[in-house]
Amino acid sequence: MSLSRKVQVGSVPVGGDAPVSIQTMWDRQVDRVDQDLVSAVNNLHAKGCDIIRFALPNIRAVDTLAPLLNSTPMPLVGDIHFDYKIALKAIEAGFHKIRINPGNIGESWKVEEIITAAAHKGTVIRIGANEGSLADSDHSSPESRSTALIEAAERNLELFEKKGFKDIVVSLKSSDIEVTYLSNKEFRKRHDYPLHLGITEAGPLIPAIVKSTIGLSDLLREGIGETIRISISDSPEYEVLTAKELLFNLKLRSGGIRIIGCPKCGRTQFDTHGFLESVREELNTLPVDLTVAVMGCSVNGPGEAKHADLGITGNGKQVLLFRRGEIIRREDICSAKEAFLEELDQLRREFSS
Ligand code: SF4
């Protein structure tokens, strides 16, 4: 598949030869930008998020969120429905991208004003077409539903193309994985705009991960999809970590950690699940590619995980730490976390140098 056009969303390139970027959406109303919000947003960035979107339900929301533009390295996307004045205000405030559905903005002159302002300011516009807003979409075949979704996106694009505006990302959203696959694949054959992929309303954690993985993997493997959001009815952190895991396993992104975790069985001598949870934050924010193993027993632990850069396994009242199958330390279980984090830090320095 040929490369898409590239657009620049703040500091993050989307499309062309840029790596697939990860997005999430903030899941609460924001009353003010305080240190808690800044820390939480930047923590998502440390975990792998590249771009974050905020709902802008009214003009006041733009003013409220504007200070965040200078408090995070992540580009901000403003999500706008119905009122073109909110879009104009977000562009003026410096939001790096806005997401609109031209169909619900109304008269074309309003959309034209948005296009003119965005072109002037260098703001990218994501044009969304959502299957949920198409009439009778549930009663036809996946093929005809995907055709209807593409046609809706193309109708939305007409005005932008007439005005020569090209800083566009397109999304064709459905909660059906087949419709998502067919529509994005066909759209890419017809157009070179970067595509924002996601299965919309994918549900709670486990169904959303399964559905999104099935729905997006084939497209991503075929080189379709320049930015993704895994939609989960849970915290944005899970969206980011799932997207990172998906891209890492598809070898489309580096800078991630591969965790080999034993499921536990009757031989378990170590609380692997509790240990993983206790070091989750350190592992998820590690900026280097590493394979880490957390195993329950010494019978199978070091052997099954011998390719791990760092491993830990239970061994009676002790834990064994190993690198590439070679035991490097023995520690009491009570000092397991401290020893593990020391070795992790040592590896981080080795991999970074
Ligand atoms: S590593 Fe040991 S404890 Fe874990 S599943 Fe394998 S045999 Fe069981």
Per-residue pLDDT tens over the stretch 206-247: 999 999 999 999 999 999 999 999 999 999 999 999 999 999
What was the pLDDT predicted at 136? 60
Is residue 190 domain-shared with residue 107, that is, in the same domain?
yes
Strands across the sheet containing 310-315: 257-261, 290-295, 310-315, 318-323, 326-332
User: Is residue 153 in some structural domain?
Assistant: yes
Is residue 211 domain-shared with residue 77, that is, in the same domain?
yes
Q: 274 to each of 124, 242, 262, 296, 336, how far by Cα in Å?
A: 43, 20, 12, 11, 12
User: Is residue 340 in some structural domain?
Assistant: yes
Closest CA to 172 of 248, 224, 234, 105: 224
User: Is residue 52 in some structural domain?
Assistant: yes
Number of domains in the chain: 2
Is residue 293 domain-shared with residue 196, that is, in the same domain?
no
CB 235 within 8 A of CB 208: no
| Ligand 1 probe mutation, 270, 272, 273, 297, most atoms within 8 A of CB | 297
Is residue 90 domain-shared with residue 213, that is, in the same domain?
yes
What was the pLDDT predicted at 181? 97
The tens digit of pLDDT for each residue in 171-202 reads 999 999 999 999 999 999 999 999 999 999 87
What was the pLDDT predicted at 139? 63
User: Is residue 263 in some structural domain?
Assistant: yes
User: What's the gap in Å between 303 CA and the centre of ligand 1?
Assistant: 11
User: What's the gap in Å between 300 CA and the centre of ligand 1?
Assistant: 6
| Ligand 1 probe mutation, 267, 315, 320, most atoms within 8 A of CB | 267
CB 75 within 8 A of CB 12: yes
User: Is residue 37 in some structural domain?
Assistant: yes
Is residue 205 domain-shared with residue 57, that is, in the same domain?
yes
Alpha helices in the chain (DSSP H): 35-46, 59-65, 84-93, 102-105, 108-121, 142-162, 177-190, 205-221, 236-249, 272-278, 280-284, 301-304, 336-352
User: What's the gap in Å between 266 CA and the centre of ligand 1?
Assistant: 8
Whole-angstrom distance, CA of residue 151 vs CA of residue 141: 15
Domain CATH for 201: 3.20.20.20
288: alpha, beta or left, given left = phi > 0 and alpha = psi -120 to 50? beta
Answer whether residue 107 shows pLDDT above 80.
yes
User: What's the gap in Å between 251 CA and the centre of ligand 1?
Assistant: 28
Using the atom order of ligand 1, give the atom closest to the CA of residue 267: 3
CB 292 within 8 A of CB 282: no
User: Is residue 73 in some structural domain?
Assistant: yes
User: Last residue of a domain, which of 198, 232, 249?
Assistant: 249
The tens digit of pLDDT for each residue in 114-166 reads 999 999 999 999 998 888 777 665 568 999 999 999 999 999 999 999 999 99
Strand-strand pairing, 21-25 and 195-197: unpaired
Is residue 41 domain-shared with residue 159, that is, in the same domain?
yes
The tens digit of pLDDT for each residue in 244-284 reads 999 999 999 887 788 998 888 988 889 999 999 999 999 99
User: Last residue of a domain, which of 249, 267, 296?
Assistant: 249
Is residue 42 domain-shared with residue 166, that is, in the same domain?
yes
What was the pLDDT predicted at 174? 92
Q: Which two structure tokens, joined as six digits, stand for 312? A: 């830990």
Percentage of residues of the chain with pLDDT beyond 70 = 98
Closest CA to 284 of 43, 75, 74: 43
User: Is residue 1 in some structural domain?
Assistant: no
125: containing domain: 6-249
Is residue 222 domain-shared with residue 276, that is, in the same domain?
no
What was the pLDDT predicted at 243? 97
CB 229 within 8 A of CB 51: no
Q: 196 to each of 128, 159, 206, how far by Cα in Å?
A: 9, 20, 22
User: What's the gap in Å between 339 CA and the centre of ligand 1?
Assistant: 21
Is residue 261 domain-shared with residue 225, that is, in the same domain?
no
Is residue 142 domain-shared with residue 263, that is, in the same domain?
no
Is residue 278 domain-shared with residue 170, that is, in the same domain?
no
Which residue's C-alpha comes closest to atom 2 of ligand 1?
A: 297
User: What's the gap in Å between 70 CA and the centre of ligand 1?
Assistant: 48
Is residue 175 domain-shared with residue 156, that is, in the same domain?
yes
Whole-angstrom distance, CA of residue 96 vs CA of residue 76: 6
Q: What mean pLDDT, rounded, does the chain reach? A: 93
Which residue's C-alpha comes closest to atom 8 of ligand 1?
A: 265
User: Last residue of a domain, which of 192, 216, 249?
Assistant: 249
Residue ranges around ligand 1 (CB below 6 Å): 262-265, 267-268, 295-297, 299-301, 304
Domain CATH for 329: 3.30.413.10
